């Protein structure tokens, strides 16, 4: 860590996390519980270091925290804590806390009482006024509260979180429409791809900032228009994998375009073949197998520079070829696949196998799909790329519906800690009694380690989202 970092910058996320853990632990246990004492000790140690030279403030403004006047930088591993603490503050009309130098003299019992008051404030009609009154009654002069600012919203009235989801949602559906437009028009002559290229660039930008959200969106399945939604989902997954292996921005853009157009050849496949429930005849299967070559012909018809066309042909041509060169279409021109072809093959198979099809009533759970794919690593899929793909989306892949040990269902939203892929962020799902599912509490399983073993939530197994009529993508498109 750089010596040039200020104290608030260096300790900011640790302090916020320690405050979050302490407040939640105090809410769950009695004062004499060892977990409470431990969390208070961690909080006090960091607070003492921060106030060594004087008071320090923790302020919330526009969904971001500022410590000591410095905005805490976005960190994926801290995003859950930031989101929950922002919600905690907002529900209490709390805009910030100011810790004086004298906070170092506060006893652990004082800290515990103060944390309980913050938790209890939510029960009152005017939580901040009630909290301030109680702090005065207890003589807690070492900490001050600030009200939430009236202008604590973004310029258009939406929070930054709302804008983040809205931008992703907009680009997803624009991409579906762009693929549909190109597929429809290319059969009638040259068609421009300026819009598609701009959307590919937007996908790259969002993936660089928030790959988790894009992986979550890739669980969106439009069965009335599956071919186009499938192409967008493959583009998202492929671009996320490309980002995960640190491809350049230009390579990511080409990869996204290849994903969007990889199934362009299926436009000419009769719908009765694509939607057929019974096994295909040899003739029908030959029509299906021709779509990569047909797709190349259509890409050559796109109104684009020869340079771009040459870069987006190979991946779609290869996306059904295996690393041992089996699959289709068979070719004698090369003995190995391109990197883009290998990436598209992984994304295409994963997306297809986790989707319902007319000839397959239920989709496979994502974890089972990955297990089956791993069995073919080195023969069908590039082993190194598949390993990176599995690491990217986790043991229980992002978008999986899981059953927890308390009988509830949850949705895997993220793995905030890149180094720990077994402890995800889980959104609890609540059945409203009419067959619809609502957002419940967000639980970070890594935080369950502070609880007694009997109180910890754990994952029992993955379950079929279609069985429970849960559309995972709907929850990635909601902020409330």
How does pLDDT run across 53-88, given as a tens digit for each residue? 899 999 998 778 999 988 888 776 777 788 889 889
Say if residue 236's pLDDT is above 60. Answer: yes
What letter does residue 337 receive in the DSSP assignment?
A: -
Residue 341: per-residue pLDDT: 96
Find out whether 465 and 471 touch, Cβ atoms under 8 Å.
yes
Q: Is 1's pLDDT higher than 50?
A: no
Percent of the chain with pLDDT over 90: 50
Distance CA 35, CA 275 (A): 57
Least confident of 20-24, 29-33, 61-65, 366-370: 61-65
- In this predicted structure, which of 184-193, 354-363, 468-477 has the lowest mean pLDDT? 354-363
Alpha-carbon dihedral sign for residues 470, 471, 476, 478:
negative
Q: Provide the pLDDT confidence category of residue 364 given band limits of 50, 70 and 90.
A: confident
Please tell me the least confidently modeled range out of 95-104, 123-132, 436-445.
Answer: 436-445
CA angle centred on 358, ends 355 and 360, rounded to 5°: 65
Predicted confidence (pLDDT) at residue 332 exceeds the cutoff of 70: yes
Distance (Å, whole) CA 384 – CA 245: 10
Closest CA to 146 of 70, 79, 61: 61
> Which tens digits make up the pLDDT trace of 268-292?
888 888 888 888 999 999 999 999 9
Distances (CA, A) of 345 to 50, 314, 440: 51, 12, 36
Q: How many CA atoms lie within 13 A of 89 on its CB side?
A: 27
CB 319 within 8 A of CB 281: no
Q: Going along 215-346, which residue ranges are E strands?
A: 302-303
- How many other CB atoms sit within 10 Å of the CB of residue 260? 31
Q: What residues does 381 pair with on adjacent strands?
A: 377
Q: Tally DSSP H helices, then E strands, for the chain.
A: 18, 12
**Residue scoring higher pLDDT (372 or 356):** 372
Coil, strand or helix at 98: strand
Distances (CA, A) of 260 to 82, 234, 295, 318: 34, 7, 12, 14
How would residue 157 be classed by pLDDT, with cut points 50, 70 and 90?
Answer: very low
Q: Which two tokens stand for residue 11?
A: 């300790």
The pLDDT tens digits for 193-223 are: 888 999 999 899 888 887 887 888 888 776 5
Tokens describing residue 258: 């290849």
Q: Omega of the bond prior to 329 within 30 degrees of 0, cis? A: yes
The predicted model gives 30-41 an average pLDDT of 90
Cα separations (Å) of 331 from 322, 328, 435, 473? Answer: 12, 8, 50, 38
Q: Where are the beta strands (DSSP E) in 173-301?
A: 191-192
pTM (two decimals): 0.75
Helices (H), 218-313: 226-244, 249-261, 271-274, 282-289, 291-300, 306-311
Name the band, by pLDDT with cuts 50, 70 and 90, for residue 416: confident
Q: Is residue 56 within 8 Å of 67, Cβ to Cβ?
A: yes
The kind and range of the H/E element at 339 are: helix 339-353
pLDDT at 360 over 80: no
- Give 362's pLDDT tier (boundaries 50, 70, 90): low
């Amino acid at each position: 860590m750089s010596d040039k970092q200020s104290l608030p910058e260096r300790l900011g996320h640790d302090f916020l996390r320690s405050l979050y853990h302490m407040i939640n632990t105090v809410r769950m246990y009695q004062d004499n519980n060892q977990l409470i004492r431990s969390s208070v000790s961690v909080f006090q140690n960091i607070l003492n270091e921060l106030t060594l030279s004087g008071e320090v403030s923790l302020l919330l403004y526009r969904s971001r925290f500022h410590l000591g006047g410095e905005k805490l930088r976005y960190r994926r591993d801290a995003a859950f804590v930031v989101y929950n603490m922002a919600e905690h503050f907002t529900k209490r009309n709390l805009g910030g806390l100011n810790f004086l130098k004298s906070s170092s003299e506060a006893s652990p019992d004082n800290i515990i009482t103060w944390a309980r008051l913050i938790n209890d404030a939510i029960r009152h009609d005017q939580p901040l006024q009630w909290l301030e009154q109680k702090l005065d009654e207890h003589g807690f002069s070492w900490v001050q509260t600030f009200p939430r600012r009236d202008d604590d919203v973004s310029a258009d009235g939406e929070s930054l979180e709302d804008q983040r989801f809205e931008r992703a949602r907009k680009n997803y559906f624009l991409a579906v429409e762009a693929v549909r437009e190109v597929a429809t028009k290319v059969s009638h002559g040259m068609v421009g791809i300026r819009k598609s290229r701009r959307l590919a660039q937007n996908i790259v930008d969002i993936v660089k900032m928030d790959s988790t959200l894009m992986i979550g969106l890739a669980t969106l399945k439009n069965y009335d228009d599956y071919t186009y939604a499938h192409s967008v989902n493959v583009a998202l997954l492929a671009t996320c994998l490309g980002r995960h292996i640190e491809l350049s921005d230009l390579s990511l853009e080409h990869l996204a375009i290849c994903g969007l157009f990889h199934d362009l050849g299926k436009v000419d496949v009769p719908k009765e073949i694509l939607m057929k429930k019974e096994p295909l005849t040899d003739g029908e299967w030959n029509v299906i197998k021709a779509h990569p070559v047909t797709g190349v012909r259509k890409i050559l018809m796109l109104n684009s520079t020869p340079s771009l066309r040459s870069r987006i042909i190979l991946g779609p041509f290869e996306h059904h070829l295996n690393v041992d060169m089996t699959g289709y279409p068979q070719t004698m021109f090369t003995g190995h696949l391109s990197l883009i072809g290998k990436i598209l093959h992984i994304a295409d198979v994963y997306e297809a196998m986790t989707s319902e099809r007319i000839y397959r009533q239920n989709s496979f759970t994502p974890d089972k799909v990955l297990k089956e794919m791993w069995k073919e690593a080195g023969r069908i899929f590039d082993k190194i790329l598949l390993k990176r793909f599995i690491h990217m989306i986790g043991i229980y892949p992002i978008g999986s519906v899981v059953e927890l040990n308390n009988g509830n269902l949850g949705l895997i939203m993220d793995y905030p800690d890149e180094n720990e892929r077994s402890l995800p962020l889980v959104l609890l799902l609540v059945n409203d009694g009419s067959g619809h599912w609502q957002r419940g509490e967000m639980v970070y399983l890594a935080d369950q380690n502070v609880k007694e073993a009997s109180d910890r939530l754990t994952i029992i197994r993955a379950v079929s989202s279609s069985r429970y009529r849960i559309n995972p993508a709907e929850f990635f498109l909601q902020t409330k």
